[in-house]
Structure 1
């Protein structure tokens, strides 16, 4: 009887163990599938970021056309439009054709035979596309018209590869930027058009109140002289997907170039988020030859300033994996574990499951860190956001430090799109980098003390024979409204400082308007952003301080030789976000500069390979870091929230070992080829990486990590 009770109890216990094991296996499978999908999402995100970056770069051509038209009351821009458009198309990638549409009627297009004219006549009268164009004029913003993707254009090719060498098709989308000038007519001209058999007209003349008639009166912002402006027309950019995506190579996804979490070939579909699932509508967008599988992963391509929302969807050609082999072995052991006993069976199951999950997670995180480092290294030589500067003569006329967007809207902000052009511009004309502590939470100089100090310091530079015709200053030259653009500019901080020909640590004594704190040269030296800027400039100059100056009201402009340990302590610096307890759940500034700090560390490793003097300085900084790595590159930090509580965020945990591993492998591969410059392997940040940054890999280390992950 006792034996029967024991057997029944063991059977019940075994059943429970089996049920628990199945439950654990199911949870493991769910977690494993999510890890696979996260890896594919990450790949989609990298391509999506490159597409959005290319769209932004391409639409800058419209700003150039706008600037030319605004100052050209004699019509020379239209007369020489072909030469101007050819120059812009040749220098800015991703453009198929450019045009001008005075009065909303397209009159100029280069190349003239790239696309068939759409025949829309006066765009504002078009019943379908006119409202969007009118809204853009009223908002004074560039917009993208992708109506060309509709069935309205049946002759559109079904795949971007069909566009090679072709003409006579409609563009895939058109971007238009409204232009306002002081010499444009106050009221729009009378106009008419016929569309699908119906007559549409606009009559502004012959009425006492034309301003009250729709589409007759579009006033613009005052120009730099304070004169009233009115709608002149549109700058137009027409684009085919082939030209837009020429440098991005979506086809690599299907060809098996990438290896992500065991997947090598992917089906893809680019589309607008407003596009329906209708197959006829989707086929007009770039897509793979293979059909997109069930339940794809997608990532949004958002360019808010253009009201553009697309998405890129990916799915493995061979379908999603349903089981991890390690976990399959666990399932086979479950019945046996129920018979062997409670302790041994559960220990085996949990140990195998935990080991499998941890190994997958470690490899996945290794790859994520390597991709982050890859991006940080590329930003040493490549700018994510244009290098913007202000002419000193214009700055003196402002009377105060103006916001980036205000200077841009006045047409007084000079921007350079590529690192090579920026370096050459600074070399020829001289740019002073102004580093300073803000005197208010929302404005850097509420009372004008810093503005006067900037003028005096830069004029003193010029008197000493140092070129400083332009200045770079954060509030003037970094986007303040668009936080995505602002982060792109922050990621380019090292490149910006390397372009500038001099550096001024500005520290006039004044009061902080919000906190009441006295701002001095000592408080400035404690600020996170000031330390980062000075560190970037010092490393870009390999420690030479001849071009580094400090300015105070007491001493004026003096040569400055910053203390290496102080400027390395970026993560111990103070910042406004921490003072405000990260109100609105905004990210900490220390999180925002992680990429820049990783790039600086890589550059120090490169300098350590150079000649004795430079290598000695770099070695000194590396020794300081290695003596207390947790101080200069902390794994995590604790932050205060608005309620007075604390929370932890990750910073550099696991990054430096991966960075040193990537550096050693790149260095070894470079030296193996016996190239004359023993430090040119830093060029992987511009050559190797520029070819592969869109997929997050530039070296064999990354390839090996990806293979292990699979």
Structure 2
């Protein structure tokens, strides 16, 4: 019997012979999982993929799956971060462009009033300016006017007479570092104060005779209609002063985080108009830019960048 079983098994194959045997005994066929456990080699010889379904998942498989999932999460997070950065940068550029366009429209209107003094020229003495602290400076035109610190010149004739009385007017040109806080920040204000000392020393003038034009001091801030008259007179103001000092130390814009300095200053619409106005009357000899070591006269390369 044993020899016959082995002969039939060899002839038919173990799995087929086993199925015939169990059928003859009235038993159900064995499940694949049972056959894989008892006769793995025979099952693999017929179909090597069947038994793989019943093998336990190894730690290596779990590790690979974990790596894949984590990698996908990292990629998704990175792409989300890139999308956020791009979206934020685009929003900042749009906002800056809108502000630049608004300023350019205002300047265009202002240029139509060249040589017309739409609003009096308001100045503060250099020593009074140097003694102001940040809080006092934030009182702007109206606050300093009310305490009697401003000298007001109502016409171009009065401006000329003021010059003839050996007074010297310095115009500060700079880039606002905030949309919420008026005027210069502490870094720029310190540069302005230092530049007045440098200017007086360089030109041999007494600070008692030096007067300052600064936008938040010289232009009204509360009454919008009067403010526009002064803004439209900007060209005349820059044209009428003895020196224009560019204040562009390295600082940071409070809202955008943009680094401010010489390069950002050159790209501003307002500052270009101020420089061109002054150049048209005085040339480059009285157009300075501030450095901690001294006042430098702009050169032709600077003019090419601006104009």
Aligned to 1:535: 276
1:499-518 maps to which residues of 2 (within 5 A)?
499-518=240-259
Q: Distance in 1 between matches of 2:183 and 2:236?
A: 26
The equivalences for 1:213-612 within 5 A come to: 379-400=113-134, 401-402=137-138, 403-427=140-164, 428-444=166-182, 447-467=185-205, 469-541=210-282, 544-553=283-292, 555-561=293-299, 563-568=302-307
| 8 Å CA contact retained: 1:439, 1:513 | yes
1:382, CA displacement in angstroms? Answer: 2.9
Question: Deviation at 1:453?
Answer: 0.7
Give the TM-score, by structure 2 length: 0.58
Q: Deviations over 1:253-274 (max 9, x none)?
A: xxxxxxxxxxxxxxxxxxxxxx
Query: 2: CA distance between counterparts of 1:423 and 1:443?
Result: 34
Residue 513 (structure 1) shift: 1.6
Q: Is the CA contact 2:175–2:265 (under 8 Å) kept in the aligned structure 1?
A: yes
Deviation sequence 1:54-89 (CA, Å, 0-9, x none): xxxxxxxxxxxxxxxxxxxxxxxxxxxxxxxxxxxx
Whole-angstrom distance in 2 between the partners of 1:559 and 1:501:
14
The structure 1 segments of at least 4 consecutive aligned residues displaced by more than 2 Å after TM superposition are: 379-382, 442-447, 465-468, 561-568
Number of residue pairs the alignment of both structures matches: 192
Q: Structure 1 or 2: larger helix share?
A: 2
> Secondary structure of 1:516's partner?
coil
CA contact (8 A) 1:389 1:470 kept: yes
Q: Label 1:527 to 1:466 Cα distance change in 2 as closer, same or farther (>3 A).
A: farther
Task: Provide the C-alpha distance between the structure 2 equivalents of 1:466 and 1:514, rounded to a whole number of angstroms.
Answer: 40
Structure 1 residues 528 and 540: CA distance shift in structure 2, 3 A: same
Contact persistence 1:426–1:499 (CA under 8 A): no
SS in 1 for 2:280: helix
Measured after TM superposition, the shift of residue 566 of structure 1 is: 3.6
Contact 2:235 2:273 in 1 (8 A): no
Verify the 8 A CA contact 2:171 2:241 in the aligned structure 1: yes
- Shift in alpha-carbon separation, 1:521–1:466, aligned structure 2, 3 A: farther
The verdict on how the C-alpha distance between 1:437 and 1:447 changes in structure 2, with shifts beyond 3 A counting, is closer
Aligned residues of 1:439 and 1:511 also touching (Cα < 8 A):
yes
Q: Residues 441 and 392 of structure 1: is their aligned pair in 2 closer, same or farther, counting only changes over 3 Å?
A: same
- Is the Cα contact below 8 Å between 1:437 and 1:444 reproduced in 2? no
What is the distance in 2 between the residues matched to 1:567 and 1:483? 29
| Contact 2:183/2:215 (8 A) holds in 1 | no
Matched residue, 2:100: none
Q: Does the residue aligned with 2:158 lie in a helix, a strand or coil? A: helix
Query: Contact (CA 8 Å) 2:123, 2:212: kept in 1 or not?
Result: yes
Does the 8 Å contact 1:506/1:551 carry over to 2? yes
Aligned equivalents of 1:558 and 1:407: distance in 2? 31
Asked if the contact 2:267–2:306 (Cα under 8 Å) also holds between the matched residues in 1, the reply is no
CA distance in structure 2 between the partners assigned to 1:426 and 1:513 by the alignment: 38
Larger gyration radius, structure 1 or structure 2? 2
Shift of 1:376: 5.6
Equivalent residues of 1:494, 1:540 under 8 A apart: no
User: Residues 168 and 211 of structure 2 are in contact (CA less than 8 Å); yes or no, is this contact kept in structure 1?
Assistant: yes
Check conservation: 2:187, 2:249, Cα contact below 8 A.
yes
In 2 relative to 1, CA 447–435 (structure 1 residues): closer, same or farther, beyond 3 Å?
Answer: closer
Give structure 2 stretches of 5+ with no counterpart: 1-107
CA distance in 2: counterparts of 1:486 and 1:500, whole angstroms: 20
SS at match of 2:230: helix
Query: Structure 1 pair 560/416, CA: closer, same or farther in 2 (3 Å)?
Result: same
Structure 1: unaligned runs, 5 residues or longer? 1-371, 569-710
Partner Cα separation in structure 2 for residue 518 and residue 410 of structure 1: 36
* Superposition TM-score, scaled by structure 1 size: 0.26
Distance 1:439 1:410, change over 3 A: same
